[in-house]
Structure 1
């Protein structure tokens, strides 16, 4: 009986154990998710802590330090070494500059983020191309980098990367390297370093001679190199011309002319012919000079290049006059007046009118000389050029005075009463008279 009671009490006192485990599973899953959430949060906190450290390093370290560390972390050790040397050179050149000079006032390269990032990017790509032996890509990256530094203060950087592109054993004869030589030739020419410019231009022409390579703007590299070579020889001839060493000058100008004809650039071909004509003009060989001037005039006429035609016609007229061929001189100058008038080159028109007036005055055609001088005066007045206006006034006044003297010289040499009366009459009315010798020309402006 006790046992039965005990069993009953025990059965009612303790809960029955069931085989349903859903509730247990739900609790277990909750605890697992909570544990995973805590682990994820721990990893996230750790990542956030690491990112924060990187961000702190970005602010704590200099721009130079961060760029260099990035290159080393990415494995571009050669690029790091070159960048470090470039930065050191910039520091040295700035330290050697005089205080207050333009160089000393420039922002250091190591503080210019865009430039450093660009150097890092292209040097890293070039090094990557070098690892796989892609020499053309390597040179292309260095060419892009050199062209990026186009500002005058960055010329040293541009030349550094151009040389790094062209002066390579592998890839040094590729299209990008040849373009780099063309660019260097032009830069050295601008700086007046003519021998180095010639060296680079000749290498460019030699490397591009057998190919149909185009530069980045679509110009044939072979022709671009020749155009630069023409400019170099043209400048080399300036010094002997100034020193009246015409033999040396003609030698250089003939080379320049030959290169110009091979460049397929009619503009510089016309200029080369004109320059040779001027050189022969200085030597007194006007026959040869006129041949080159004629060639120049034909080329400029085909191109419809007004400025070129103006100087070619003026030079031709000078040689014709030196040969005593006054009629041809006048025809050249009349053509020059027409060209300058039709192209509205007012200053050149005033000058041409004065030159033509002088020719007519020399041969005694006073009326035509006066008309030319008057045209020159009117043009000079319109353009308000004080120096040119004073010159035009002097020429016009001189032409008027001589025309009046010629008109009344006979009466001045005669002592008859009739001649004296004519002189007195002219004296009283000359302010209202027309000024041309035959009294049919236009009235001149009042003189004070």
Structure 2
């Protein structure tokens, strides 16, 4: 007889509670109620179709109430308390918000059934895992919720679930919690809370290195955290640069550069090097700036990023010119022009031509300067950029005027018969000829 009793009780005493069975049961209940409602309207309700108290409650109560009641009935009291607290927080936020504000215009959380159902599902799964001490699963469920609430109006919920994941004593150093820290660092960075972002990124790097964790997409978390930390240091340096505090800015950018170099992302490393070069240039340390611009040129040349490669050559030329290395400056700008011309980077090509023209203009070589200004003007015409076109026109006119004045003054000073004839010829024709910016054939053509 004992054997018979044992055999009868081999299966579980109560059915296992799963998200799938819960959803299937609720779907069945709602469909049954719809059928019974139709039977009531037609007067054909049979004894087997009589509504139970539970089904009547599901039909008459709001979905929020049904979800909360279900959580209590299934024994998930902590999940119910947390969900109820979040609904109260949402109500308080809406009351405190200004009339007409974005918070007031949002649909109340208790009316968004899909979000309530998602929270119910993962909170209950987290509580179930907590009962058996599976802390990594607890954090995984909360990480999923933090990532689910990614819309701007739901960031407060995202922060709540991320914090409930990383601030736990048990599981706070697990893989999901480490990934949650990386996500929080990005969110704090977006919100401009840079110190909070830095703390989360640094802690994420430490935990990721100790555990060798990867994120849900298979990317090493230590690298993702380093990429975020570089952006954080860069933003922190912006405030120092605005205040012209170059020493503090350089200190932060050097930390960012070290972090970027360890991120195994050459684009970020190139950007970090460029920012350091630019900051040293603005601080007047051109020799050090050139070292970082050279690093940029090597990185972007390897990556075949012609736009950023041209930008690096342009800034390298500025440092070379500041040191008086005109020949090297011209070489640098000619490289920029070649790269821009070969890759169709018309804006960079205009900049290169105008910069070269300015160098020759400064040296008093006005005819050579005019050649480069004219090339820049022609490219600006193709771009149909009015502001750039006007700038090029002014530079062409200025270079030509200086060239003419020099020749005119030389003829006046020499006063030779040939010079006097040129002066007289110019005087007789200057009022009858039109000035053309598209050709060197103008009122001063007698001197060319």
Give yes or no for TM over 0.5: yes
User: CA deviation digits over 1:314-358, x for unaligned, max 9?
Assistant: 111111111011111111111111222222222222122211111
Q: How many angstroms apart in 2 are the aligned matches of 1:424 and 1:88?
A: 93
Alignment check: 8 A CA contact 1:198 1:229 kept: yes
Q: Assess, with a 3 A threshold, how the Cα gap between structure 1 residues 335 and 108 changes in structure 2: closer, same or farther.
A: same
Question: Which position in structure 2 is the counterpart of 1:383?
Answer: 383
Q: Assess, with a 3 A threshold, how the Cα gap between structure 1 residues 389 and 167 changes in structure 2: closer, same or farther.
A: same
- Normalized against structure 1, the TM-score is what? 0.83
Question: Which position in structure 1 is the counterpart of 2:152?
Answer: 152
Q: How far does residue 445 in structure 1 lie from its aligned partner after superposition?
A: 10
Secondary structure, aligned partner of 1:50:
coil
User: CA deviation digits over 1:231-264, x for unaligned, max 9?
Assistant: 1111111112221212211111111111111111
Q: How many angstroms apart in 1 are the aligned matches of 2:176 and 2:414?
A: 87
Q: How far does residue 119 in structure 1 lie from its aligned partner after superposition?
A: 0.8
1:34-433 mapped onto 2 (5 Å cutoff): 45-50=46-51, 54-415=54-415, 418-426=418-426, 428=429, 431=433
Q: How many angstroms apart in 1 are the aligned matches of 2:294 and 2:137?
A: 49
What CA RMSD, in Å, does the superposition of the two structures yield over aligned residues?
2.3
Q: How far does residue 421 in structure 1 lie from its aligned partner after superposition?
A: 2.7
Secondary structure, aligned partner of 1:136:
helix
Alignment check: 8 A CA contact 2:181 2:204 kept: yes
Q: Radius of gyration: which is bigger? A: 1
Q: How far does residue 160 in structure 1 lie from its aligned partner after superposition?
A: 0.8
- Name the count of aligned residue pairs: 397
Secondary structure, aligned partner of 1:237:
helix
Q: How many angstroms apart in 2 are the aligned matches of 1:309 and 1:341?
A: 13
Q: How many angstroms apart in 2 are the aligned matches of 1:211 and 1:247?
A: 36
User: CA deviation digits over 1:348-404, x for unaligned, max 9?
Assistant: 221222111111222233333222211211222222222211111111111122222
Q: How far does residue 57 in structure 1 lie from its aligned partner after superposition?
A: 2.9
Secondary structure, aligned partner of 2:218:
coil
Q: How many angstroms apart in 2 are the aligned matches of 1:219 and 1:170?
A: 24
Q: How far does residue 281 in structure 1 lie from its aligned partner after superposition?
A: 1.5
Q: Which moved more, 1:410-419 or 1:342-351?
A: 410-419
Q: Assess, with a 3 A threshold, how the Cα gap between structure 1 residues 181 and 80 changes in structure 2: closer, same or farther.
A: same
Alignment check: 8 A CA contact 1:374 1:444 kept: no
- Normalized against structure 2, the TM-score is what? 0.83
Structure 1: which 5+ residue stretches go unaligned? 1-43, 436-441
Q: Which moved more, 1:76-85 or 1:236-245?
A: 236-245
Structure 2: which 5+ residue stretches go unaligned? 1-44, 444-448
Q: How far does residue 79 in structure 1 lie from its aligned partner after superposition?
A: 0.8
